[in-house]
């Protein structure tokens, strides 16, 4: 990254170091900051050299930026419906000098199939809203609520649009919550995205899993590998070695 690159920060925004290639990201803790789920998905996802990658619901662009650092993908696109988040993502791309490698598109996941050419991506990633509906929400228009609850798109919207946009044989990578695993598998099968690889994520070795990482393949044959569990913490405040590896520490 060029040391003299400057970017305009808006109110409550900060620049965080991503520990990869000197890359940084602009975030606003008042709105929404990326979580561990996005980082784990960027570590779980794979993109071959020359791949075209789409991240649906990219937020502030964390997954395309990390995947650009970790893979030899030819180009990455982030799709984000919230204008403020998309603007932050574009400024982060500029901050890192990645304008030729990463594009940020402001748009709706539900309309992704008309925003991009059908079957035009080798890899699609998504860290979608986990919670169903708007139960218990005081402000459904809040950026954090939109990121966490299925206010603007459902799981089926995500899966159906991924199926339209993936090339035959292309791979879809998603992080979600285990309590929706049955629904996820049914939808993937329905839209001919065959589950190929799954990994459960546990906060501690003696706790229940709180995340699931899934890779599926458009038109793939039935056969899924369940990888060994990913444990986050060795003890309170101390990550397991492989988590430090994923973060790049």
- The answer to whether residue 190 sits within a structural domain is yes
The per-residue b/e assignment along 112-122, b for 16 or more CB within 10 angstroms, e otherwise, is beebbeeeebb
Domain-embedded: residue 58: yes
Q: Is residue 222 part of a domain?
A: yes
> Given pLDDT bands bounded at 50, 70 and 90, which one contains residue 138?
very low
- Provide the CATH number for the domain around residue 208: 3.40.50.150
Q: In this structure, is residue 28 part of a structural domain?
A: yes
- Does the residue 197 lie in any domain? yes
The answer, yes or no, to whether residue 157 has pLDDT greater than 50, is yes
Residue 169: domain span: 14-247
In a domain, 93, yes or no: yes
Strand pairing category for 230-231 and 225-226: unpaired
| Spatial separation of the C-alpha atoms in residues 133 and 115, rounded to whole Å | 25
Q: Express each pLDDT in 83-115 by its tens digit.
A: 999 999 999 999 999 999 999 999 999 999 999
Model confidence pTM above 0.85: yes
The count of structural domains within the chain is 1
Q: What does the alpha-carbon distance between residue 3 and residue 23 come to, in Å, rounded to a whole number?
A: 11
pLDDT of residue 2: 43
Report if residue 203 sits inside a domain: yes
Which region holds residue 192: left if phi is over 0, alpha if psi is between -120 and 50, else beta? left
Q: Is residue 1 part of a domain?
A: no
* Tens digits of residue pLDDT in 192-223: 999 999 999 999 999 999 999 999 999 999 99
Token representation of residue 23: 């890359």
Radius of gyration of the chain (CA): 17
CA–CA separation, 30 and 194 (whole Å): 38
């Amino acid at each position: 990254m060029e040391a003299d690159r400057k970017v305009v920060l808006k109110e409550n925004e900060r620049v965080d170091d991503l520990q990869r290639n000197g890359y940084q990201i602009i975030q606003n803790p008042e709105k929404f900051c990326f979580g561990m789920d996005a980082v784990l998905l960027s570590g779980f996802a794979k993109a071959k050299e020359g791949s075209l990658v789409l991240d649906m619901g990219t937020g502030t662009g964390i997954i395309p930026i990390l995947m650009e650092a970790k893979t030899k993908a030819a180009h990455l696109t982030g799709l984000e419906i919230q204008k403020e988040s998309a603007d932050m993502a574009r400024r982060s791309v500029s901050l890192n000098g990645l304008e030729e490698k990463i594009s940020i598109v402001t748009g709706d996941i539900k309309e992704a199939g008309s925003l991009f050419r059908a079957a035009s991506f080798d890899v699609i990633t998504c860290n979608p809203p986990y919670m169903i509906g708007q139960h218990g929400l005081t402000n459904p228009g809040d950026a954090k609520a939109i990121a966490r609850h299925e206010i603007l798109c459902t799981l089926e919207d995500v899966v159906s649009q991924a199926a339209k946009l993936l090339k035959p044989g292309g791979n879809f990578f998603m992080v979600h919550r285990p309590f929706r695993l049955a629904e996820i598998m049914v939808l993937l099968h329905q839209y001919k995205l065959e589950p190929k690889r799954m990994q459960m994520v546990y906060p501690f070795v003696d706790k229940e899993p709180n995340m699931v990482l899934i890779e599926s393949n458009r038109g793939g044959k039935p056969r899924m590998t369940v990888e060994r569990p990913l444990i986050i913490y060795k003890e309170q405040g101390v990550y397991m070695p492989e988590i430090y590896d994923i973060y790049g520490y």
